[in-house]
Amino acid sequence: MGSVQIVTTILAAAITAVAVWLAVRAVMKMTAVIRLGQPAPERFTDKGARTRTMLVETAGHTRMLKWSVVGAAHWFVMVGFIVLSLLVLEAYFEVVTPTGGLPVVGHWTVFGLATEVIGVLGLVGILVLMAIRLRNRPTRPGGRSRFTGSTMWQGYFVEWIVLLVLIFGFVIRGFKVATDHFEYPLWATPVSHAVGAVLPDWQDGASVAALIKIVISMTWLIVISLNVTMGVAWHRFLAFPNIFFKREPAKPAGSGLGALRPMTSQGKPLDFEEADPEKDQFGVAQVEQFSWKGLLDFSTCTECGRCQSQCPAWNTGKPLSPKLLVLSLRDHAYAKAPYLLAGGGKDLTGEEKATAAQLAHMDVLALAEADKPLIGTAEEGGVIDPDVLWSCTTCGACVEQCPVDIEHVDHIVDMRRYQVLIESSFPSEAGVMLRNLENKGNPWGAPQNTREDWTKGLDFEVPRVGEVDDFEYLFWVGCAGAFEDRAKKTTRAVATLLNEAGVTFAILGEGETCSGDPARRIGNEFVFQMLAQQNVETLNEAFEGREKAKRKIVATCPHCFNTLGNEYGQLGGEFEVVHHTQLLAHLVSTGKLTPVQPVDGGVTYHDPCYLGRHNRVFAPPREVLGTAIEGELTEMPRNSERSFCCGAGGARMWMEEKIGKRINVDRVEEAMSTGAKTVAVGCPFCSTMLNDGVNGKGAGEQVEVVDVASVLLRSVRPEQPQGDKQAAPVAG
């Protein structure tokens, strides 16, 4: 060992020792913070599916590749990081001797070739990612950036580190080539040979370059260890467990969508017949009341801003960005952690848990952080502003886009639950809806005895459950479908088409109440459980004696469809629920319904969030329209998984939209930009919102918003297109 190697070895060992010590400390700190969260035993089930999904999502980059260029570039960088970590390890042999290499594999041509290829592709990948970050930098002139609010220096830092590590990998090899100590042939390592051709014949070059590579790598480790909230770096490690522990590992997409998690206390679902707010946790009022998976979610955020770029609230000038919400919760959790780890925290009655002695030497910043209300205005020093919390439509675009499977909607609803159930703090205009749900069983407050008014004037009988012995489908009409004028047209159109196709069905009539979706999404789990339990009982009675496959329900409202199909199981109601567009697509494809006259004038389709993203029903409505319209369906730029919300979900239908541009107007402008004369929908709320948007733009004469079922009915029964215009006046 020469004098240069003695120095390089000592320096490499010293910086590595410091970096490893700091990294171990950082990992222990992160683990301690995540463990502060509430139990989540359900995350440990189904380990086989969890492992498979984690491997598919990480190795296959299935979620990242939805954005193909970024996804491909990131894949090469990820593979580069994993494989080229071996080359960082090899650098430790090279600081000791310039001709050193990894034992065993370090002499294989295959290893030389693989690392050469991955090194080159990694270089290309990181340059692409750097260019994308620069092109989308928040300070660029014009336009909103998905990186707005991200900690930009961290992203640049990580990218430069990757770039330099890759470059120095080739420099080390180049010195070995230049000094004739390189074992791999030219054909396997052409770039290394090319670099070697321009480097001097310096015998110590490889050792010095290896030291620089180690210093760069360890600088990265030191910096991220000193910044445990640096998700852009830590996600390399945290993404694996975060994906492994996601809510429903068997779901290929939208694991955090569809059903909401039940309200839990100490990891157990709460039953309101026994729950006690002094003993049980009602929603989330303190950051440590999220589950440990929630805290892991916050720690894993890469700050990529994909969620932000798709969020309807953010895109229409509201203060909510799912990314910024997650970052605020993360920063708050880590800043408050010293206080919590010292034994601090409030019990459910609001009393301090720690003794004065425990908090005596507490960092004042941690104490100040602990004093912040989780939900509060800037003046109150709140972590999350109420306007942020209530701007969410629960559309799920954030969850859909997140490459590391963060479950934003669950966290938002958990915070809403506390605000509604304990603080009674929510937008006042939604109070009428909640009162109507409690007193009348529907959000409009319409009299229950008008639930069947939509059947009046139909040229066939609509039977009630109990009046007929056998029916294939229970037609769940929904409150909008029963009481709201436009939605009643859809209800009538669906009933007419089912009758035409010879499908036997029955309704619950006055036995039906609201599914509970708006109550649950606003955070009122108590009212949700009350309504849902009543409905589950009614439905179980209606289907008594039938196995699950024969407990078939068809619903026109995607919110009811989602609640009945995905959430009633939490309360003992197991049903086979389909959306009417699915059933109609089946009836058309099996020849039970025959469109005879295509509807013309250009048609576009708006995907309802709770049908599309939340339940992956993208094709059936398009199939129905494909058979019923003239020419091709005109897609809006944002469609299917990336569809843009109408603004009504998450109980926003019953709240005023006071901030920014109206979401429905944004969507209507997009629909109108296609030139289509018909905007087809599959949801009564979307219908209301888009109709309001069209009318607000004074385009009611030129553009019609209408349900897919009505479009099909016009095509199946062209001689009687007014069938859906016979609805009785709106009740209540």
Summarize as ranges the residues that interact with ligand SF4 (CB under 6 A).
Answer: 301-307, 310-313, 320, 322-323, 326, 392-398, 401-404, 406, 408-409
Q: 647 in the Ramachandran plot: left (φ > 0), alpha (ψ -120 to 50) or beta? A: left
| Pair type for strands 268-269 and 264-265 | antiparallel
Query: What is the edge-to-edge ordering of all strands in the sheet holding 505-507?
Result: 505-507, 473-476, 552-555, 576-579
CB nearer to ligand SF4: pick between 225 and 310: 310
- How far, in Å, CA of 655 to CA of 726, rounded? 30
Task: Find the shortest distance in angstroms from Cβ 646 to ligand SF4.
Answer: 11
Question: Rounded to whole angstroms, how far apart are CA atoms 228 and 26?
Answer: 6
Q: Which of 393, 355, 427, 471 is nearest to 655 (CA)?
A: 427
Task: Kindly state the smallest distance separating residue 121's Cβ from ligand SF4, in Å.
Answer: 23
Q: Return the number of the residue (338 or 396) whose C-beta is nearest ligand SF4.
A: 396
535: three-class secondary structure by DSSP = helix
Contact (CB, 8 A) for 532 and 497: no
Distance, in Å, from the CA atom of 123 to the CA atom of 117, rounded to the nearest integer, reads 10
Find the shortest distance in angstroms from Cβ 310 to ligand SF4: 6
- Find all residues with CB under 8 Å of 261, minimum gap 6, and list them: 247, 410, 414
Q: In 3D, which of 458, 453, 451, 444 has the Cα closest to residue 476?
A: 451
Question: Between 326 and 557, whose beta carbon lies closer to ligand SF4?
Answer: 326
385 vs 453, beta carbon nearer ligand SF4: 385
Q: Which is nearer to ligand SF4, 321 or 533 (CB)?
A: 321
Burial class (CB in 10 A: 0-12, 13-18, 19+), 390: buried
Closest distance between ligand SF4 and the C-beta of residue 695, in Å?
Answer: 24
Burial 503-512 (b: 16+ CB within 10 A, else e): bebbbbbebb
Min separation Cβ 448 and ligand SF4, Å: 32
> Minimum distance between the CB of residue 416 and ligand SF4, rounded to whole angstroms?
11
Give me the least distance between CB of 88 and ligand SF4, in Å please: 26
- Listed in order, strand segments (DSSP E) in 169-229 are none
Minimum CB distance to ligand SF4 smaller for 329 or for 564: 329
Nearer to ligand SF4 (CB atom), residue 50 or residue 323: 323
Least spacing, CB of residue 146 vs ligand SF4, in Å: 8
Phi, psi (degrees; rounded to nearest 5) at 707: -70, 150
Least distance between ligand SF4 and beta carbon 663 (Å): 9
Which residue lies nearer to ligand SF4 by CB, 305 or 608? 305
Cβ distance to ligand SF4 smaller for residue 74 or 306: 306
Question: What minimum distance in Å lies between the beta carbon of 151 and ligand SF4?
Answer: 11
Q: In what order do the strands lie in the sheet with 603-605?
A: 603-605, 678-681, 704-707
- Is the Cβ of residue 311 or residue 588 nearer to ligand SF4 in the bound state? 311
Minimum Å gap between C-beta 364 and ligand SF4 is 30
Min CB(667)–ligand SF4 separation in Å: 13
81 versus 202: smaller Cβ distance to ligand SF4 = 81
Quick check: 162 and 121 in contact, CB under 8 A? no
Nearer to ligand SF4, 613 or 717 (CB): 613
Provide the pairing of β-strand 552-555 with 473-476.
parallel
**Tokens at residue 535, please?**
């409905």
| Unique residue bearing structure tokens 């959790």 | 333
Beta-carbon neighbour count of residue 340 at 10 Å?
21
**Nearest-angstrom CA–CA distance, 16 and 515:** 59
Q: CA 475, CA 553: separation in Å to the nearest integer?
A: 6
CA 404 to chain CA mean position, Å: 9
Nearer to ligand SF4, 402 or 477 (CB): 402
Return the SS3 of 66.
helix
Cα–Cα distances in angstroms (integers) from residue 59 to residues 62, 66, 68, 74, 643, in the given order: 8, 14, 15, 11, 27
Q: Pick between residue 176 and residue 323 the one whose CB is nearest to ligand SF4.
A: 323
Q: How far is the CB of 300 from ligand SF4 (least distance, A)?
A: 7
- CA–CA gap between residue 526 and residue 520 (Å, rounded): 8
State how beta strands 552-555 and 268-269 pair: unpaired
Closest-CA residue to 140 (of 662, 131, 213, 538): 131
Which pair of tokens denotes residue 91? 């650098």
Least Å distance, CB 390 to ligand SF4, is 10
